[in-house]
Structure 1
Amino acid sequence: MREIDRIDRKILRAMQDDGRLTNLELADKVSLSPTATAERLKRLSRDGFIKGYAARLSPQKLDRGMLVFVEVKLDRTTPDVFDAFAQAVRTSDDVMECHMVAGGFDYLVKARVKGMEAYRTFLSDVILSLPGVRETHTYPVMEEVKNTDKIPV
């Protein structure tokens, strides 16, 4: 994979700011011809720098206003338990992110639910029913101070 240059970085920053830019608008922002811009954008996508495009939805408008983080500790830390847990977590629509972490617990789960009652159902029906779960600690979010998907480029 080849290195990206200053113009590629400008393209990536612009696309992070607004993924709906037309090629003409993007070319204007990065001071390139539309043809050269389109070729660079294709290459950045092909080389995996751009993983896809999506709309950011309003959790509040879609009755998913409560954000929770859940620390999960497993009863055993063996490959089969890790695999079973990861496979089961992938099937839950409520789970937005799940990360295996180092430290005092095994996984950090990020989920969006309607409210506390929905969270209690999610905890008992989803999290506690996952393979190998021994202990959980939940952190409901009181205020989202910063929420971004942007990566410094």
Structure 2
Amino acid sequence: MGQDRLDQFDRAILEIVAVEGRISLAELARRVGLTKSPVQARLRRLEESGVIRGYRALVDPIRMGRDHVAFVEVKLSDTREKALAAFNAGILAVPSIEQCHMIAGDFDYLLKVRTASMAEYRAVLAETISALPHVAHTSTYVAMQAVKEEGLTAT
């Protein structure tokens, strides 16, 4: 189901559940201006089609003691498909890597790494990230403050 196949009610439902995933069906129906049955059917369709990928709790990483954030540029020595697949597989096994994006530019990947401290980050960089397949060079940028951090929205 593509974006072009979402009507105003689907978009309204998505905007609300993206922020309030635990909203009751009755309240969601009231807020989008439909009855419960069509809202439930729309939710099921959005879930089955993969537009809604799931529901989860948003845990505050700072309250969990993981307030050190670093962004890491990674340059690979080999960017053929096999090398990219090996690097990607390695990234998936590293819990402290919160996000990984392949980039078109002067480097190949941008990582968001969240740890408890600079010392923990240095260990992750030295022992894990730098040891991933085909890593030739990394550059680290430490975040001083998160001005805006949120999940994906339906807009």
Q: What is the TM-score normalised by the length of structure 2?
A: 0.94
Percent same amino acid among aligned pairs? 38
For 1:71, the equivalent position in structure 2 comes to 73
Question: What whole-Å deviation, never above 9, does each CA across 1:108-133 have from its counterpart, x for those lacking one?
Answer: 11111001001100101111110111
Aligned twin of 1:115 = 117
SS at match of 1:68: strand
Q: Give the deviation of 1:101 after TM superposition.
A: 0.8
32, 54, 57: which one aligns with 1:30: 32
CA contact (8 A) 2:68 2:115 kept: yes
Q: Which residue matches 1:12?
A: 14
Three-state SS of the structure 2 residue aligned to 1:48 is coil
For 1:26 and 1:152, how far apart are their aligned partners in 2? 15
Unaligned runs of 5+ in 1: none
The aligned amino acid for 1:144 is: A
1:149 deviation in Å? 1.4
Give the equivalent residue in structure 1 for 2:23. Answer: 21
Aligned partner of 1:130 in structure 2 is: 132
TM-score (norm 1): 0.95
SS in 2 for 1:11: helix
Question: Structure 2: any 5+ residue segments left out of the alignment?
Answer: none
Deviation, 1:107, is 0.6
Question: Residue type of the partner of 1:90?
Answer: L
Contact map agreement 2:99 2:111 (CA 8 A) in 1: yes
